[in-house]
Structure 1
Amino acid sequence: MFDIGASELLVIVIVAILVIGPKDMPKALRTAGRWIGKLRRMSGHFRAGLDEVVRQAEIEEMEEKWAKRNKEIMAKYPEGSTPEGGAPENLIPGEMEPLASANEVPDADAAAEAAIKRAAPVKAPEHTDEPPLPLDPPPAGKGR
């Protein structure tokens, strides 16, 4: 902000000591510090206000874009063209076949057994010589 070099700062300090005097220098520095603090707080408050104004303007701009996009969507898919599920008709596939119920499957028991076999875990060949893991919990007196 202010382009003050070390030599210029030294001149200012020497003039301040000569004009104010070494006795009143601490009081003058405290007063200057308070003024600088007030200026910083005011500039921070001003900056926060400007940021808020910019953010509100961006929000209004986005709301306008969303309203415009909503109008385009509503024009493309009028209220009467959406099915009960809410999706546009052109997104729903044509004729879908219903899933067969358990009563309609020719051999329900065989299908269930096949599903169980498919879901059963299969050990890798390199792990077949390992002992099986114990299924029972340890006795109450041992371990945790």
Structure 2
Amino acid sequence: MLDMSWGEVMLIGGVALIVIGPKDLPKALRTLGQVTTKVRRMAGEFQHQFNEAIREAELDEVRRDVEGVKRTVDAAKPGFNPVDTIRNEIRSAVEGRTGAPAGTSTTPPDTGSFDVPRPASEPAAAQAASPATAKPETGKPETGPTS
């Protein structure tokens, strides 16, 4: 700490012996040791409190980050439910519907006619000319050529 050599320590000890005297030197060295201990203890406490303050500051930063993540998750929670989403997708696939909400049907109601819905790309005139999609006038299916 104080980079002193043995020679310098001996010189200080000799001067202290002459100045303080041999009778009071042990008391002075004891007092010097107690003061040194107190200074080291105070320095250690200061360093501990300083490190604790740094840790608290880091923990506060981490705590703020975690709270920010929690707020983000809570904000997304009402609209995002992966279990319900997967359940609906599986239910739709099993029931043969894609994207239809549960309880609704995508099949047209049965009207009792022989209409075949035409694709949107096929014009109405081409559908009317097609014999497979022509309506019988009696409401009964055609039976074949009569001779």
The reply on whether 1:9 has 2:9 as its aligned counterpart is: yes
Structure 1 residues 21 and 63: CA distance shift in structure 2, 3 A: same
TM-score (norm 1): 0.53
Partner of 1:115: none
SS at match of 1:3: coil
Shift of 1:95: 3.4
Structure 1 residues 89 and 31: CA distance shift in structure 2, 3 A: same
Identity %: 38
Residue type of the alignment partner of 1:41: R
TM-score (norm 2): 0.52
Instruction: Give the ranges of 4+ consecutive aligned residues of structure 1 lying more than 6 Å apart after TM superposition.
Output: none
Distance 1:61 1:90 in 2: 35
1:45-67 CA-to-partner distances (Å, cap 9, x unmatched) read 11121122111101100011112
Distance 1:33 1:90 in 2: 73
Larger radius of gyration: 2
Q: Which has the higher contact order (CA 8 A, sep 6+)?
A: 2
Structure 1 residues 72 and 18: CA distance shift in structure 2, 3 A: same
Residue type of the alignment partner of 1:79: P
Partner of 2:50: 50
Quote the RMSD (CA, aligned, Å). Answer: 2.4
